[in-house]
A and B are shown apart, each in its own frame.
Chain A
Amino acid sequence: MSLLHFLRAMWGIVGRELWRFIQQKERFISALVRPLIWLFVFAAGFRNTLGMAIAPPYETYILYEVYITPGLIGMIQLFNGMQSSLTMVYDREMGSMRILLVSPLPRWFLLICKLIAGTAVSILQVYVFLGIAWFYDIQAPLQGYLLILPALILDGLMLGALGLLLSSFIRQLENFAGVMNFVIFPLFFMSTALYPLWKIQESSALLHNLASYNPFSQGVELIRFALYGQFNQQAFIYTLAAFIIFMIAAIIGYTPSKGMMTRKGGD
């Protein structure tokens, strides 16, 4: 089994996902509409209610829209990770995942390829969102748009790995509504995406703790700092560790002898 085989397979899987994404215009538009509504409607409405103190990485007072932009980037990647998970469950129910799993490649490699593909799609969405936000006068330093890329890759991988892990546990597509209620909403609302930690602390110490240990928060902070040319080491280590843990658990979940595959009795 040569390196070339691995590279060709990776290109095959990633290329297919990107192609499918480009073909599905509705998916692209709906992925963009969600954060844009938050930005144009929610953030605009709360601009005067939620005052923002000066806190790193910001060096001056900022508008609420500016604050939640990294949170909305995180939201795009979170939904995308869960969408990939949904696709995995759908593919497994419809049988098309079998063709991937019976190919002569290790499972861990196939899962990583799927993950890279999902992350690439989410990064594409993020840059389009940032482009629109630019015209709405939410502008970060130019180098921030480049420096954000490694943060987006790591955050995308971490949230994608979480999605993969969930997909190894979800038996049927119908159960996916539970993911929405029990994973997406808590992760998003109990995070620093919409309000800074100090503000959460003012209202609840418990919420503050939950938000600080939430890996989604750390991913958002990594992005927030990167966008302003700064490196948040704690957020980086936390996000990386979360990625490794989710990925290992997902690989175990998809290993025939150890994971959920045999117990499902279907696929």
Chain B
Amino acid sequence: MTAQALKVEDLSFSYATKKALNNVSFSVAAGECTILLGQNGAGKSTLFSLITRLYDTRAGKIELCGFDVKQQTRLALAKLGVVFQQTTLDLDLTVTQNLRYHAALHGMSRKAANLRIAEELERLNMLERRNEKVRQLNGGHKRRVEIARALLHQPALLLLDEPTVGLDMPSRQAIVEHVHKLASEHQLAVLWATHLIDEVYPEDRLLMLHKGEIKAKGTISDVLQITETDNIGAAFKQIAKETVL
């Protein structure tokens, strides 16, 4: 049996009068890269805010490695690495200082933190830039630092909320490739929110979210079958169209 890193069951959420998520259920297993496809306003960011416990889960259940996010918050969050859509680095601190801060929040000793920082930066070809202030880095490099940071405490699940927005093509490709490699080689579970279909790899699983509801999920062929289309782009359009009709 495959271990489920993330399990979401019957999740619903509303802002005052607007329903943002409606009965959302899915799971992400270790070593699996799941792409959460949805247009702006589909509910991707709300879903991420609920998984990371920035918002309270009122209806439904979220489990991270078997820990209920609402009841066992700290145990659950310890298993989670996140890259948010907006940069969350401190621009006036160096790369290493930013990473050490994160390591401290996860209770890592200075020695363990230094070791992990060197490992992750090396893997992303950023080690030689570790003493530079984040302000001096370009968008792609900042993203790399954020990915390194999310992985410092060796989480079981990596959440990425549109991490390639605003990046040039080579930077985007490098990040997409790196994350897919992490899933396959390190058995990391990945949930990647995007609206860019060229970030999907053939072996990925898909979750198509539209207006707060999951319209299709499974492997690429499952989704194409459900939507009766022959490519992801068409499936994506089909789902948006169906709801309009």
Contacts and interface: CB of A to CB of B under 8 A. Distances in A.
Most-contacted residue by chain A among B55, B102, B109, B149 (CB, 10 A):
B55
B88 A96 contact: yes
B92 A20 contact: yes
Interface stretch (A55-63, A195-203, A255-263): A255-263
Interface stretch (A102-110, A141-149, A179-187, A223-231): A102-110
Interface stretch (B30-38, B77-85, B190-198, B236-244): B77-85
A178 interface: no
Contacts of A257: 56, 70
Contact of B93 (A16, A103, A267): A16
A94 B86 contact: yes
Interface in A93-135: 94-96, 98-106
Nearest to B52: A102
B56 A104 contact: no
B93 A104 contact: no
A106 B101 CA distance: 17
Sorting the interface of chain B by its residue count into under 10, 10 to 19, 20 to 34 or 35 or more gives 35 or more
Contacts of B53: 101-102, 256
A49 interface: no
Given A20-B90, A104-B73, 14 more contacts: A1-B107, A6-B107, A15-B104, A16-B101, A98-B52, A99-B88, A99-B102, A102-B80, A104-B76, A104-B105, A105-B74, A257-B56, A263-B16, A267-B54
Interface of B: 15-16, 49, 52-56, 70, 73-78, 80, 82, 84-90, 92-93, 97, 100-109, 149
Nearest to A258: B56
A23 B90 contact: no
A262 B56 contact: yes
Contacts of B108: 8
Interface of A: 1-2, 4-6, 8-9, 11-13, 15-16, 19-20, 23-24, 94-96, 98-106, 256-257, 261-263, 265, 267
Given A19-B97, A261-B54, A12 B104 contact: yes
Given A95-B84, A102-B77, A8 B109 contact: yes
Contact of A262 (B55, B89, B92, B104): B55
A28 to B, nearest CB: 14
A4 B106 CA distance: 11
Contact of B55 (A104, A106, A261): A261
Given A94-B86, A98-B84, A101-B54, A9 B104 contact: yes
